């Protein structure tokens, strides 16, 4: 990557940005022809979902400055919210100056559940399951031999009792967890096929009745962590010293740790970045969001997913961990042209590498949001694009968008009525 071509990327127009990415050796000239062909065809969309009517589009932008485990990335983000891409890029720039993100990606083990009820004898059922573990794993693997041939497959089995809860009037359940290595795939379909392949056998072994068989999106065996360490001289902002920004940012992190009302918003900010990359990469962002928010409660209380602390030498240290069971193949990744474009833009080679980039985006997003919140507030950054959106809502087009937006930013009431009045003035 030759980064010099990406200078002032945000000031370029659409065509100039594509040319810069080609000049920087990130895309090829084929991609220039392809961007118009990134739309889903009716035929493809009709085969992806039921009752297809039209395609609902989102803008796809590029976040810059990501240095993850020593490699530079341009990161695609599909999102409708203004300022998210700018904030991710700004956060990543400071973190790159501080050495970039270091990530740790766990083994990619996914979890499937078979829930059984009406078990005549729980002790006997558990003992039978443990005794026949090898046979159960073999049946699971026989149900999806191609993942085994690729080097993955079912690896382990765990049994959980869920006691009856008289207050909530729920019966007891015996839940069998199947651990599966799904390699480069997120694995929902692989696991569901395996689970359905073992359900009857589990009923036989336990004497119970299966209620359901489905993967769990609480992917606690597929975790991604990113860490960054930022010297205070990179943190100065307006009248705040670097030390003040560091300390206020740590306090913001502490507030999100203890207060669920704040933690949800803190984590929503992290997911602004994560969901946008997950979506751009063609992965299932509902699965990632559900798992992330559940993981935020793993201590028993809903808390912040990230932690910011002071290092012994006075630097600011940030750390983010969450489940990230994304795939580099499967689902719509291989068929959606925009997901394939995202893959070329990011240049990732494996699902683990994609996880490393995504968790880093979450941490950069969080850093930028907290830094803005504890200094000038987030509205200042938001208002530029918000003004443009208001100008467009008021009916502005072409050059009038910029003119209305500029005047709106100076006006006392930045709202639709003001935008309409300003547009009227400009047009008359
Ligand atoms: P697929 O069903 O597309 O399966 C992935 C396929 O990729 C495998 O069957 C495998 O084919 C192929 N493949 C090629 N190379 C590799 C490799 N190196 N490693 C692994 N697989 C490889 O997708 P998933 O099973 O990942 O399921 C994801 C989809 O399931 C998403 O669309 C998701 O939205 C959906 N889903 C999600 C649920 C949830 O989250 N609760 C529930 C149900 C569905 P081969 O057979 O040749 O080995």
Which ligand 1 atom is nearest residue 144's CA? 46
More confident of the two residues 202 and 380: 202
81 tagged catalytic = yes
- What are 275's two structure tokens? 């969901």
CA of 7 to the centre of ligand 1 (A): 38
What lies within 8 Å, CB to CB, of 221 at 6+ separation is 106, 107, 109, 110, 111, 179
Query: Containing H/E element for 275?
Result: helix 260-280
pTM equals 0.91
Per residue in 367-414, pLDDT (tens digit) is 999 999 999 877 666 677 778 888 888 999 888 888 888 898 888 888
- Please tell me the predicted confidence (pLDDT) of residue 277: 98
Q: What angle do CA 421, 422, 425 make, to 5 degrees?
A: 90
Per residue in 112-156, pLDDT (tens digit) is 999 999 999 999 999 999 999 999 999 999 999 999 999 999 999
- What are 11's two structure tokens? 């000031």
Ligand 1 mutation target, pool 330, 339, 350, 353, most atoms within 8 A of CB = 330
382 tagged catalytic = yes
Kindly name the residue from 46, 81, 121, 251 that is annotated as catalytic: 81
């Amino acid at each position: 990557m030759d980064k010099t071509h990406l200078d002032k990327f945000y000031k370029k127009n659409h065509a100039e940005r594509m040319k810069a990415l080609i000049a920087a050796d990130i895309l090829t000239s084929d991609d220039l022809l392809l961007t118009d062909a990134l739309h889903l065809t009716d035929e493809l969309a009709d085969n992806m979902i039921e009752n297809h009517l039209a395609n609902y589009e989102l803008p796809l932008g590029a976040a810059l400055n990501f240095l993850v485990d020593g490699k530079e990335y341009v990161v695609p983000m599909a999102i409708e919210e203004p300022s998210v891409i700018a904030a991710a890029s700004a956060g990543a720039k400071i973190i790159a100056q501080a050495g970039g993100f270091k990530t740790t990606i766990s083994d990619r083990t996914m979890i499937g559940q078979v829930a059984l009820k009406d078990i005549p004898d729980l002790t006997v059922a558990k003992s039978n399951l443990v005794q026949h573990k090898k046979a159960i794993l073999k049946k699971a693997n026989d149900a999806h031999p191609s993942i085994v041939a690729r080097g993955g497959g079912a690896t382990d089995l765990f049994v959980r009792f869920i006691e009856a809860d008289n207050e909530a009037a729920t019966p007891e359940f015996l839940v069998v967890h199947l651990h599966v290595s799904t390699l480069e795939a997120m694995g929902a379909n692989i696991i569901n096929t395996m689970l359905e392949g073992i359900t009857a056998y589990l009923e036989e072994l336990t004497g119970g009745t299966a209620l359901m068989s489905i993967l769990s999106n609480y992917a606690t065996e597929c975790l991604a962590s990113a860490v960054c360490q930022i010297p205070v001289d990179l943190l100065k902002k307006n009248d705040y010293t670097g030390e003040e920004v560091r300390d206020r940012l740590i306090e913001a992190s502490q507030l999100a740790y203890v207060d669920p009302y704040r933690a949800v918003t803190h984590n929503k900010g992290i997911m602004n970045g994560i969901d946008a990359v997950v979506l751009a990469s063609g992965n299932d962002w509902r699965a990632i969001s559900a798992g992330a928010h559940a993981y935020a409660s793993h201590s028993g209380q809903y808390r912040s997913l990230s932690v910011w602390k002071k290092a012994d030498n006075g630097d600011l240290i940030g750390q983010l961990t969450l489940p990230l069971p994304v795939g580099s193949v499967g689902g719509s990744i291989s068929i959606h042209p925009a997901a394939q474009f995202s893959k070329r833009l990011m240049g990732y080679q494996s699902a683990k590498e994609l996880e490393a980039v995504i968790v880093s985006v979450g941490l950069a997003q969080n850093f930028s949001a907290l830094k803005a919140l504890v200094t000038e507030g987030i509205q200042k950054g938001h208002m530029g694009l918000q003004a443009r959106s208001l100008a467009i809502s008021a009916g502005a087009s072409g050059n009038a968008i910029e003119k209305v937006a500029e005047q709106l930013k100076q006006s006392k009431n930045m709202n639709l009525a003001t935008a309409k009045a300003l547009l009227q003035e400009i047009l008359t």
